[in-house]
């Protein structure tokens, strides 16, 4: 640790680093109302961070992951009967502010670890798909809840590009004078209930088939009981009161950028 920087003044606290996130992604919504980390899928990200001082940092990045839900994996009888499933890739661009509870800087002999919290904004793209007869079928175009059809002509289809609010907590640790390791968990508060293509009520399958085709009617109501499918029209398909959430979490590896070779102040 004696080779780490010993900078003390405010100007020396400024630094820059780039890094990667390696971890997982998952979602909470109508097909998974409560279970955190359930059906986690691999996720990856890259970011640039500007450390304003030892406590405050700003970063921008890109994350890619996948989320999914499956009623058949639930222990809830209503979900088992509903029998819906989905998956979706998530592409996210974010801008985030971090606050370290303790002073921290990669390459510093004293400020070598810190817990932190973060808050920001992002824009993400998703595209829910359902598995039917061993094929993945895009759901938005099918209007499975009758969006912009004769049954719900005033209901607009949901947008596949949406904003959300990323926030969370993590922990940073200096590995060397150029490298830092971290771990973070970050919920994303979205403003859509359609990450899973499920939100409102069942519509008339006969009319839906006329408006959007047979596949739309089939994927709108996949209840295990054929009799139930004939009586679901108008009943609740999802919960429109709550919005969906998605999450990124994992390890981060950060690499400090020097202004010029040997410029890190205070090096011995």
> Which letter does DSSP use for residue 158 in this model?
P
Mean per-residue pLDDT for 229-238? 91
Count CA within 13 A, CB hemisphere, residue 237: 27
The Cα–Cα gap between 159 and 194 comes to 9
| Cβ pair 244, 29 in contact under 8 A | yes
The Cα–Cα gap between 8 and 34 comes to 46
* pLDDT value of residue 259: 66
pLDDT of residue 64 exceeding 60: yes
Q: Which H or E element spans position 120? A: strand 113-125
Burial class (CB in 10 A: 0-12, 13-18, 19+), 3: exposed
pLDDT band at 11 (very low <50, low <70, confident <90, very high): low
List CB contacts of 23: < 8 A, sequence separation 6 or more. Answer: 42, 43, 44, 248, 249, 250, 251
Mean per-residue pLDDT for 73-86? 95
Kindly state the percentage of the chain with pLDDT values over 70.
92
* pLDDT value of residue 63: 98
* pLDDT averaged over every residue in the chain: 92
* pLDDT value of residue 4: 46
Mean per-residue pLDDT for 35-63? 97
| Model confidence pLDDT, tens digit, residues 144-186 | 999 999 999 999 999 999 999 999 999 999 999 999 999 999 9
**Of 187, 185, 192, 177, nearest to 243 (Cα)?**
192
Q: Which H or E element spans position 61? A: strand 56-70
The Cα–Cα gap between 217 and 209 comes to 5
The Cα–Cα gap between 188 and 120 comes to 10
> Which letter does DSSP use for residue 144 in this model?
T
The Cα–Cα gap between 157 and 155 comes to 7
Kindly state the percentage of the chain with pLDDT values over 90.
84
pLDDT band at 264 (very low <50, low <70, confident <90, very high): very low
Tell me the three state secondary structure of residue 72.
Answer: helix
- Name the percent of the chain in helix, strand, coil, to the closest 5: 15, 45, 40
All structural domains of the chain: 10-142+152-201+244-257 (2.40.160.20)
pLDDT of residue 231 exceeding 50: yes
pLDDT of residue 260 exceeding 70: no
């Amino acid at each position: 640790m004696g080779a780490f920087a010993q900078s003390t003044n405010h100007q020396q606290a400024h630094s820059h680093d780039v890094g990667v996130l390696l971890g997982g992604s998952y979602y909470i919504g109508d097909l998974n109302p409560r279970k955190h980390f359930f059906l986690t899928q691999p996720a990856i990200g890259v970011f640039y961070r500007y450390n304003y001082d030892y406590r405050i940092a700003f970063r921008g990045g890109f994350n890619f992951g996948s989320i999914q839900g499956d009623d058949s994996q639930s222990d809830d009888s209503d979900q088992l009967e509903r029998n819906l499933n989905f998956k979706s890739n998530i592409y996210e661009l974010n801008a985030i502010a971090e606050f370290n509870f303790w002073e921290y800087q990669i390459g510093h002999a004293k400020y070598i670890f810190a817990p932190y919290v973060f808050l920001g904004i992002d824009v993400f793209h998703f595209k829910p798909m359902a598995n039917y007869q061993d094929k993945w079928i895009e759901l938005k175009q099918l209007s499975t809840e009758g969006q912009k059809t004769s049954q719900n002509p005033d209901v607009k289809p949901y947008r596949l590009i949406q904003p959300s609010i990323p926030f969370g907590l993590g922990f940073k640790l200096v590995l060397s004078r150029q490298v830092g390791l971290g771990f973070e968990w970050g919920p994303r508060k979205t403003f859509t209930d359609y990450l899973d293509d499920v939100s409102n009520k069942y519509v008339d399958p006969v009319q839906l088939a006329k408006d959007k085709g047979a596949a739309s009617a089939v994927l709108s109501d996949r209840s295990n009981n054929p009799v139930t499918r004939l009586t679901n029209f108008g009943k609740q398909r999802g919960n429109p009161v709550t919005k969906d959430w998605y999450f990124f979490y994992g390890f981060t590896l950060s690499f400090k950028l020097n202004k010029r070779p040997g410029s890190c102040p205070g090096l011995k």
